[in-house]
Amino acid sequence: MFNDCDLKNKEFTMKGFGGGGLGGMANLMKQANQMQMKMKKLQEELATREFTGTSGGGAVTAKVNGDNKVLALTINPEVMKAGDVEMLQDLVTSAVNDALKTAKDESSKEMSKITGGMNIPGMF
């Protein structure tokens, strides 16, 4: 267990952390904490952004926010005239899913700027 560690003069150093001892580990923890704060701020900002999705060539438009809440749903009146309930349901589902995908993709893109492309479990 301790084959990658050395105890010297009561200083704990680990290979792979720059040999900086506790100072190196403290720096790593500081950087992780800064990243966490940036991620939290970004999540709060993304929650307020609005994302749009469409289906049926614009016949149905859905607007969601970064919290994955549907804010608005617009249906072209011409779609209603067709009287095809199943088609309308499919168009609504497709538009909402398109908006949610746009929100997720944008969130992932923004988050990767902070994480440097690292895939952190539980984050977007």
For the chain, give the secondary structure using H, E and C: CCCCEEEECCEEEECCCCCCHHHHHHHHHHHHHHHHHHHHHHHHHHHHCEEEEEEHHHCEEEEEECCCCEEEEEECHHHHHHCCHHHHHHHHHHHHHHHHHHHHHHHHHHHHHHHCCCCCCCCC
Q: Read off the pLDDT of residues 64-86 as tens digits, 9 standing for 90 and up.
A: 999 999 999 999 999 988 889 99
Among 3-7, 18-22, 113-117, the range scoring the smallest mean pLDDT is: 3-7
Q: Mean per-residue pLDDT for 97-105?
A: 96
Q: What is the pLDDT of residue 121?
A: 58
Token pair recorded at residue 50: 């609005």
Pair 29, 60 in one domain: no
- Please give the residue range of the domain that contains residue 63: 50-124
| Mean pLDDT, rounded, for 90-117 | 91
Say whether pLDDT at 94 is over 80. Answer: yes
Residue 5 is predicted with a pLDDT of 47
Residues 27 and 76 both lie in one domain: no
pLDDT of residue 57: 95
Residue 85 carries which side chain, given as an amino acid letter? Answer: V
Query: In this model, does residue 10 exceed pLDDT 50?
Result: no
Query: Per-residue pLDDT averaged across 46-53, rounded?
Result: 94
pLDDT for residue 51: 96
Q: Are residues 124 and 64 in the same domain?
A: yes
40 shares its domain with 58? no
Whether 117 shows a pLDDT value over 50: the answer reads yes
- When comparing pLDDT for 93 and 38, which is higher? 93
Q: Decide: 30 and 98 in contact? Cβ < 8 Å.
A: no
The domain tally of the chain equals: 2
